[in-house]
């Protein structure tokens, strides 16, 4: 085996066009080719190989872009341009970027966007246990039992959620810090206990805070934020 080769999904993610997970889906769909031959899972890319997506050669990796957006309600965390509420058209950034993970359409708050597929893979890897912090308003008064059971873990989607930090802020408002990202996790946890989420706002991902960034606005991550993020993501 060529020791300088890399896995195809890593090569594609390294161009900044998508995450490794998305690259795997493209391989399965037959959209990627190496030197004119349709790629399959397990393929590797060596120096001099030509990789194409839908017949178009993938260009070299552009300069990295790391953005923090205060997502409003109604915007979908997808790159699918067929969805008229997609986050890419909403942000209107001149270079190709994609969201790191998801935030429900009805939810607001911090979401990161980048063209760096490797960092997406690192942040989303569940075993890294990276904090995500939310402020949640529910439809009725919060009880001690609710706080205790939310923090201790609940059975949703065929598994038990990890223990987490929960703190009451007001009669119907609480703060929660998760280290996993199951589909609609907070909403499902609340529903399991007989509550409905009225508003859900993410205010932090790892060391990156939403702060006073206005709704619908975005900013670039600072050098200090990037330095700390890199430190936290190191194996």
Q: Which of these is catalytic: 54, 85, 104, 116?
A: 104
Helix then strand then coil, in percent of the chain rounded to 5, is 25, 30, 45
Three-state DSSP class for residue 66: strand
Three-state DSSP class for residue 105: coil
Is 104 designated active site?
A: yes
Three-state DSSP class for residue 185: helix
Give the tokens for residue 183.
Answer: 């589909």
How far is residue 38's CA from residue 139's CA, in Å, rounded to a whole number? 52
Rg (CA), the chain: 20
Question: Which residues are within 8 A (CB) of 137 and not within 5 positions of it... i.e. 6 or more apart?
Answer: 172, 173, 197, 198, 199, 200
Backbone angles phi, psi at 12, to 5 degrees: -65, -45
Three-state DSSP class for residue 20: helix
Question: Annotated active-site positions, please?
Answer: 104
């Amino acid at each position: 085996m060529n020791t300088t080769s890399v896995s195809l999904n890593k090569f594609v993610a390294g161009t900044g066009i998508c995450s490794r997970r998305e690259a795997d889906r493209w391989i399965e769909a037959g959209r990627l080719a190496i030197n004119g031959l349709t790629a399959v899972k397990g393929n590797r890319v060596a120096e001099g190989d030509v990789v194409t997506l839908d017949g178009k050669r993938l260009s070299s990796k552009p300069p990295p872009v790391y953005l923090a957006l205060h997502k409003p309600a109604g915007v979908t965390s997808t790159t699918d341009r067929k969805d008229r509420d997609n986050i890419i058209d909403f942000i209107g950034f001149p270079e190709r970027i994609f969201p790191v993970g998801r935030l429900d359409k009805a939810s607001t708050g911090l979401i990161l966007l980048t063209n760096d597929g490797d960092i997406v893979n690192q942040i989303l890897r569940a075993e890294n246990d990276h904090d995500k912090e939310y402020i949640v308003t529910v439809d009725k008064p919060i009880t001690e039992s609710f706080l205790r059971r939310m923090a201790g873990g609940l059975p949703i989607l065929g598994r038990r959620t990890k223990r987490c930090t929960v703190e009451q802020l007001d009669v119907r408002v609480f703060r929660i810090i998760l280290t996993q990202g199951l589909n609609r996790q907070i909403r499902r946890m609340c529903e399991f206990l007989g509550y409905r989420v009225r508003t859900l706002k993410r205010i932090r991902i790892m060391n990156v805070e939403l702060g006073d960034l206005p709704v619908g606005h975005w900013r670039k991550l600072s050098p200090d934020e990037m330095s700390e993020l890199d430190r936290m993501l190191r194996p």
